[in-house]
Structure 1
Amino acid sequence: MKTSGDIIIDLVERFNVHDFGAKRAHAQGKYHKGEVILNDAGMAIFGDVAHALIRLSNASSSSRMPARLVNIKGCSIRFHHPLRPVDIIAVNFPYFPFDSPKEAVALFYRIHFFLKHRTPRRFIDIFRTGELYRHFGRIIRCMPKKTGMNQMYYSTHSYGKEYLKFRVRYEMDHGRLSLYAEKDMNHTDYKPQNKTYLGYINVGPGPGSGEVKYLDPMNAPLGYQPNGNMPLLRHYMYMRSFLGRMMEVGLTKKDVSMIEQVWAEEKYFVLSKSRKIYDEIRELLKERENMSVARFRLLLDEAYEKKYDEKHMRNFLQHAWGHFKYKADASEKESYRILLERLEPESVHIFIADLALKYEESYLLNSTMVKTRGKT
């Protein structure tokens, strides 16, 4: 069964504008190392981090598109937090007027139909999606006019109970990213309040190595859950896009390492659905560069399609509890005992996620189960 993320990636590929083996969007990107200097407000959100990886990109999915013709740009930051990466994905457009996978899929379908039959009616249909026409004036006003990288960038969603959105100003002449936080409770609009300066990042002088499989919208600052429905959709889109790329290339050791990172994030989720699939993927990964990425993706699909059952949920809970059984207090041990008797999936996920954050269990904090709190 295809997810919304699969459908969107399939539609993007049908546009036939991405390079073989390249990212489906923002394919033209360069990585830079960064030195992070945060003030107290910044450290309260991101922790005491000293280094980051920055990706500056064009929205185009093809290297054939000249950068000077692309006005949508991206500036994404991976903070190297000791417990797990913290990723802020920002673009030079302040908001996305949808907050449901259904509307996002409908938009891409209508763009697809327009590209096949370029008629005025098809073009107008694009703006009927989710009453997008109501945002048309704001979209035109907010649409970036410049095509250089020296711009303001906005996080694609808010975080935590404070509804924090992040703003990043790239000052190319000074090689610096200035960071700001602002409160905005709107999922589909941009009406910020109370801007707070967080510090800055010195951007390395030249593009360097350091490619990562993808920057993940669910790698939120610790303790700040992403808000709305779109971060989870983007998470799956980026994962599916990455696996699609890996299916188009001959695997290298670096590629295998990135696929293993995907597995490290997904393994507890798979274990909660099927021990059989879990074991099969483990065997598949032993084939290294000769592994079938298509088979890996298919097995993940099978796991996602399965419903939770008591046997496998108990197996997951017992495995995850192994990280805490010598640290947990009496109340947590009692909660664990109760959960074993009443295996309610959402309660199990929240329990493990809260313990992982409290006891700073890096391996679990990196897992999809904890990052999404079981919302799969």
Structure 2
Amino acid sequence: MKTAADIIIELIEKFDVHDAGSRRAHGKGEHHKARVELNEAGKDIFGEVENAVVRLSNAATNDKVPDWLVNIKGCSVRFNHPLRPIDIIGINFPYFPFDSAAETLDVLYRIHFYLEDKSAGRFMDIFRAGGLYRDLGKILKWMPKSTDMDHLYYTAHSYGGEHYKMKLDYHPGNDRIEIYAEKDEHLIDYHPGPAVHLGSILINPHSTGKEVKYFDVLNAPPGMPPNGNLPLLRHYVYKRSFLRRMEEKLLDGKDLRMLEEVWAEEKYFVLSKSQRIYDEIRELVKKGTDMSATRFRELLDEAYALKYEEKHLRNYLQHVWGHFKDEADESEKAHYTRLSEHPDPEAVNTFIHDLAIKYKEPYILRTTMVKTRGRS
């Protein structure tokens, strides 16, 4: 069964604008090491973080499009938090005009139809998606007017009950980013309150040569999950994009390391669906760079398509409980016993999520099951 994320990536691929093995969006970019200097307000949100990785990117997805032709840019930061990476994904446009998978798919389909029949009618039809034509004036207002990297970059969605949106002020001249938080409850608009300065990010101008497999919107600041419907969709779109580009490559050590990261994040979700698929992927990954990225993706898809069964859910719960059984209090042990007898997907995933946060278990905090609470 195809998900919205699958269809979005397929539509982007039909545009035929990406180089083989490249990201489906913002394909051109470089990663840089960075030093983080947070003030007290910044530490309240991000914790005691001193280092980061910054990716500066161009929205173009192939080398045929020169940077100076593209005005949409990206600036993303991965804070190296000891428990779980915190990813702030910024683009130089302050909001996303939709907050549903259906509207996002609608506009992509309309773009696809326009590219097949480049008529004025098809072009105008793009702006009927989600009533986009009503926002044309606002879009033109915020659309970047220059094609350099010297911009403000926005997260578009907000975080936590305070509805903080993050803003990155990048200064290429001194390789510095100032980071701000702005309160804004609008999901598909931008009306921020006063900006609160959180600190500075000092970028090493030399590319690291290393790569973050993908920045994940669900790698949010502790206790501040992203708001709205799109972050979960973006999580799956970015992962699907990564897996598809791995299928287009001859795997090297760097690719294998990133695929192993995906497996570490996905393994408990797979275990909650099927011991057989779990075992098959585990053996597949042991092949190293000879593994089939296509088969890896197919097996993950197979697991995602399955419904939860009690025996597999119980197996997953028992495996993960091993991380907490020595620290858990009596009420948690009793709750574990009840769930083991009658495992319910939502209850099990909430239980593990809450334990991982309470006991600050890094390995479990990084898993898809905790980040999504089992939602797909």
**Which bracket does the TM-score occupy, shorter chain normalised?**
over 0.9
2:286 aligned with 1:268: no
Alignment of 1:49-60 (within 5 A): 49-60=49-60
Structure-1 residue corresponding to 2:280: 280
Equivalence map 1:218-297=2 (5 Å) = 218-297=218-297
Question: What CA distance in whole angstroms lies between the structure 2 residues aligned with 1:189 and 1:352?
Answer: 34
1:197 counterpart residue number: 197
Task: After superposition, give the CA deviation of every residue in 1:41-62 in whole Å (9 maximum; x if it has no partner).
Answer: 1011111010000000111111
Structure 2, unaligned runs of 5 or more: none
How far apart, in 2, do the equivalents of 1:9 and 1:247 lie? 14
What percent of counterpart residues are identical?
Answer: 58
User: Using the alignment, how far apart are the partners of 1:362 and 1:194 within structure 2?
Assistant: 34
Per-residue CA distance 1:257-299 (angstroms, 9 max, x = gap): 1101000000110111111111110111111111111111111
Contact 2:182 2:193 (8 Å CA) reproduced = yes
Q: CA deviation at 1:101?
A: 0.8
For 1:341 and 1:208, the matched residues in 2 are separated by 50
Q: 1:358: Cα distance to partner?
A: 1.1
2:157–2:165 CA contact under 8 A, matched in 1: yes
Give the deviation of 1:210 after TM superposition. 2.1
Report Cα offsets for 1:226-263 as digits up to 9, x if no partner. Answer: 11111111111111111111111111111111101000
Per-residue deviation, residues 54-113 of structure 1 (Å, max 9, x unmatched):
000111111211111100000000001111111000000000011111111111111011
- Are 1:39 and 2:26 an aligned pair? no
Deviation at 1:225, TM superposition (A): 1.0
Say which SS state the counterpart of residue 108 (structure 2) adopts.
Answer: helix
Counterparts of 2:339 and 2:163, CA distance in 1: 31
1:156 Cα deviation (Å)? 3.0
For residues 315 and 97 of structure 1, what CA distance do their matches in structure 2 show? Answer: 42
Q: How big is the shift at 1:171?
A: 1.1
Q: Give the secondary-structure state (helix, strand or coil) at the position aligned to 2:214.
A: coil
**2-structure distance, mates of 1:319, 1:193:** 45
Match of 1:193, SS state, is coil
Number of positions where the alignment pairs a residue of Structure 1 with one of Structure 2: 376
Give the equivalent residue in structure 1 for 2:88: 88
Q: Which moved more, 1:73-82 or 1:189-198?
A: 189-198
Instruction: Give, in angstroms, the shift of residue 339 of structure 1.
Output: 1.9
* 1:50-129 equivalences in 2 (<5 Å): 50-129=50-129
Residue 321 of structure 1, CA deviation: 1.0
Secondary structure (helix, strand or coil) at the match of 2:76 reads: strand
Partner amino acid, structure 1, of 2:271: L
Question: What displacement does 1:342 show?
Answer: 3.2
Q: SS where residue 189 of structure 2 aligns?
A: coil
User: Hey, what does 1:355 align to over in structure 2?
Assistant: 355
Structure 1 segments unaligned to the other structure (5+ residues): none
Q: CA RMSD in A?
A: 1.0
Residue 327 of structure 2 aligns to a residue in which SS?
A: coil
- For normalisation by structure 1, the TM-score amounts to 0.98
Whole-angstrom distance in 1 between the partners of 2:124 and 2:335: 54
CA distance in 2, matches of 1:346, 1:134: 39
Extract structure 1 runs of 4+ deviating beyond 4 A.
none
The structural deviation recorded for 1:209 is 1.8
Q: Hey, what does 1:310 align to over in structure 2?
A: 310
CA deviation after TM superposition for structure 1 residue 5, in Å = 0.9
1:52 match: secondary structure: strand
Q: Provide the C-alpha distance between the structure 1 equivalents of 2:136 and 2:93, rounded to a whole number of angstroms.
A: 14
Alpha-carbon distance in structure 2 between the residues aligned to 1:43 and 1:210: 27
Q: Summarize the alignment of residues 127-206 of structure 1 with structure 2, pairs less than 5 Å apart.
A: 127-206=127-206
The aligned counterpart of 1:326 is 326
| Shift in Å, 1:369 | 0.4
- How far did residue 345 of structure 1 move? 1.1
Q: Distance in 1 between matches of 2:155 and 2:118?
A: 32
SS of match in other structure, 1:36: strand
2:284 and 2:292 in contact (8 A); partners too: yes
Distance in 2 between the 1:258 and 1:60 partners? 23
